[in-house]
Amino acid sequence: MVPEWEEAYMNYNYLKKILKEILIFRHRRLNQTYPPDPSSQKGKLLKRPSFYRAFSGLTNRYGDYNDRNDDAEVILVSEIHHLEQPPERQSYQTMFFRSSEEGAENEIVFFRRLDDEFNKVNCFYKGKVEEVVMEAEELNKQMDALFALEIRISDPHFHSSSAPLNSGVSPLEEIRDVEEKPERDQTKMVSLEILNHVKINVTPESAVSTLKTIFDGKKSDLSFSNKELRTARVKLKQAFVEFHRKLRLLKSYSFLNQLAFSKIMKKYDKITSRNASKAYLDMVNSSYLSQSDEVVKLMERVEATFITHFANANRSQGMSDLRPRAKRDKHRVTFFVGCFFGCSIALVVAIILTIHARDLLKSAGRDQYMTNIFPLYSLFVYIVLHMLMYAANIYFWKRFRVNYAFIFGFKPTTELGYKEILLLSSVLLVLTLAAVLSNLEMEMDENTRSFTTLTELVPLGLVTVLLLIMVCPFNIMYRASRFFLIVNLWHFVCAPLYKVTFPDFFLGDQLTSQVQLLRIVEFYICYYGWGDFKRRSNTCNQSNTYEIFFILVAVIPYWFRFLQCMRQVFEQKDYGHAMNGLKYLSTIVAVATRTIYVQRRGVVMRIMAASSSGAATIYNTYWDMVKDWGLLNCDSKNPLLRDKLMLPNKSVYFVAMVMNIILRLAWMQTVLDFHEAPWLHRSTMIFIVACLEIIRRGLWNFFRLENEHLNNVGKFRAFKSVPLPFSYEDGDKGTMIQ
């Protein structure tokens, strides 16, 4: 089942529920108790005769209905037309001839609902077929332009108004009445005049290209270069792959629904001992859902065109590109996850025993360690915790059929599952704990009056290793995912010069919850650049420049999110994004005033920090629940929730809302001076608050994507919008909306 098309499938469970009511009535009429107790012998005996049913054969799709003794007509299915509907919208209605029998009300309801489900399925399928036919026509035009461009580049002096295709094989043809076209078997002619009426959209989006578009206000024309040709081929290849995937899912949609109607009618016949399946399934077989072969024919032509023009006539390679293999779980990933987490537990125990044996908590160098070394290692803990929350999100998204791979736009078979995320986080956790264990010295050497240089450089070395792995160009360590993250991070940093997609602003929201991590990066630069790390001393907090950047680093993620919202307002003309941008501006004010209060103190700054943070918390909490989660809907059938829910237990949503409020109030420790508590070091309090914000963001992630998925379901959005290389002057924007 395509998750986004869930509402368009036949509601099999509801029809089974009606059949169950019919069965209950029949059992009651026979003075039998239903349903039987599964643990009782009577319940077992009722199911035993099913083992002795006759074999119906492998090739009989709907069963042998001619063997039934009851030849009396039970139903009559007829096609009807409504005046308010267009003629091509067929609908069917079933007349039940046994309505006068006792208890026939449920059967009448069953056939009425069955007709509704079939008409829904049939109309949806026909509408989708019409869409793919239009998209096929658009691909035809794109292929014509591509062939013309190939001929123009290969022979710049060729001035003929038309030329045969270079391969002698026609491109994707229109499927309507294609058998009646006598020119089908002839070589199709390409007119080079097409190039006079198209513009090319092969310039990759970048900050520079966006600025050029702003100032020039026009798209690039054809320059007849090989680079344009290569880029156009790549884009068209991607469009064909996505189009073929849509055709496959449409074919599967037709098959699954036909199978569902067949099985539900078999259940009806079995329960009622009637022979109604044959009449109804004959109608199903003669309907558009079964008789239409446009999708199958179009799939064949797409495959033939793709193999010829994008796979060098190599069928094996072409079909591999069109139908990539499903990603499989690897047992070694599971093994190493357990192995590394086991090592992590051992290292935690070793650290605890070392601290206890050396009595490090009472050491004179404890404060020096917590001020300088503890923040360096906490950076890795923030990353690990965020990855663990993301792994949990993926697990529950998959469990509740949230199509996260489609929402994020991951390439097929490249998305990381929760096990891969757990593997990466466990490896990083082992490295971090091993580094901490090697650097637990609290007292410096009395002779040199300094700490060992090698161990003091361990945190910096670990950061360097992470950065090198992140930018490594070789195909190791999930290169596709690393590149995807880098690209989206670059788009975020360059806001608003890039079009804002879901992964871009989703990553931006993650960074707004990693403010403390960004501040630690600043501390790394100051500590190792200007501090005396051999003696674990620094004067960062005494520098006005450091304090200014301490504020700027914290507000940078919110500022870029604000710029992204402004880009969305400009493109979509939706001023709801402006209200979202105002949310980030209020947070910038709150973060700045709280930081200044910590640095300068004073009653006035304390009042300003508390008031601005309180207002931002109320605004952010409202936006989280109402806009991002789609909850607190007073008109919903689920009080204070939304109409459609993915989780079966409604109380989870209320718990999540309460947790969101509580965790958002973690900033209160700043204005209430909890970090000055004598039993808790200031660095520890900062660490705890930062971890709580990461946990809150992890909870937000699940419900945010759940709401996005339900929005896609409501609009039947199951495919990406594929950018096409050529735009025609007749207004075609060169995008295939799927």
With a CB cutoff of 8 Å and minimum separation 6, the contacts of 92 are 77, 78, 79, 80, 115, 118, 119, 122, 283, 287
Stretches where the chain sits below pLDDT 70 are 31-72, 81-89, 157-190, 202-204, 216-222, 673-679, 729-738
- Closest to 623 measured CA to CA, from 518, 509, 515, 717: 509
Q: If DSSP codes are grouped into helix, strand and coil, which group holds residue 1? A: coil
**Which residue shows structure tokens 């055709």?**
247
Instruction: Tell me 728's DSSP state.
Output: E
**75 DSSP β-pair partners:** 96
The boundaries of the domain holding residue 408 are 331-723
pLDDT at residue number 172? 54
Please tell me the distance from the alpha carbon of residue 516 to that of residue 323, in angstroms, as a whole number. 44
Amino acid letter, residue 92: Y
Please tell me the distance from the alpha carbon of residue 555 to that of residue 585, in angstroms, as a whole number. 9
**54 DSSP β-pair partners:** none
> Token pair of 644, please?
């459609």
Q: Name the domain count of the chain.
A: 1
CA distances from 505 to 558, 561, 587, 709 (A): 11, 7, 16, 16
**Which residue shows structure tokens 């264990």?**
437
> Which residue pairs from 48-56 have beta carbons closer than 8 angstroms and sit at least 24 positions apart in sequence?
none
pLDDT at residue number 149? 87
The verdict on residue 298 lying in a domain is: no
> Token pair of 512, please?
């707004």
The verdict on residue 482 lying in a domain is: yes
The verdict on residue 215 lying in a domain is: no
Half-sphere exposure of 258 (CA within 13 A, CB side): 21
Q: What is the pLDDT of residues 588-613, one digit of tens each?
A: 999 999 999 988 888 889 999 999 99
The verdict on residue 275 lying in a domain is: no
The verdict on residue 230 lying in a domain is: no
Yes or no: say if 98 and 107 are a contact pair by the CB < 8 Å rule. Answer: yes
Burial pattern 504-541, b for ≥16 Cβ within 10 A else e, equals: bbbbbbbbbbbbbbbbbebbbebbbeebebbebebebe
Burial pattern 57-70, b for ≥16 Cβ within 10 A else e, equals: eeeeebbebeeeee
pLDDT at residue number 84? 61
Please tell me the distance from the alpha carbon of residue 281 to that of residue 268, in angstroms, as a whole number. 12
Q: Is the dihedral of CA 437, 442, 447, 453 positive or negative?
A: positive
The verdict on residue 62 lying in a domain is: no
Amino acid letter, residue 239: A
**721 DSSP β-pair partners:** none
Instruction: Tell me 96's DSSP state.
Output: E
Yes or no: say if 468 and 383 are a contact pair by the CB < 8 Å rule. Answer: no
The verdict on residue 493 lying in a domain is: yes
With a CB cutoff of 8 Å and minimum separation 6, the contacts of 368 are 442, 536, 537
> Token pair of 416, please?
């990381």
Q: What is the pLDDT of residues 317-348, one digit of tens each?
A: 999 988 877 778 889 999 999 999 999 999 99
Q: How many CB atoms lie within 10 A of CB 371?
A: 16
With a CB cutoff of 8 Å and minimum separation 6, the contacts of 521 are 379, 553
Please tell me the distance from the alpha carbon of residue 601 to that of residue 605, in angstroms, as a whole number. 7
Please tell me the distance from the alpha carbon of residue 428 to that of residue 384, in angstroms, as a whole number. 7
pLDDT at residue number 550? 92
The verdict on residue 320 lying in a domain is: no
Q: If DSSP codes are grouped into helix, strand and coil, which group holds residue 163? A: strand
pLDDT at residue number 82? 63
Burial zone of 39 (CB within 10 Å; 0-12 exposed, 13-18 middle, 19+ buried)? exposed
> Token pair of 713, please?
């379901």
Please tell me the distance from the alpha carbon of residue 631 to that of residue 225, in angstroms, as a whole number. 52
Yes or no: say if 491 and 498 are a contact pair by the CB < 8 Å rule. Answer: yes
Please tell me the distance from the alpha carbon of residue 190 to that of residue 152, in angstroms, as a whole number. 11
pLDDT at residue number 67? 44
pLDDT at residue number 25? 86
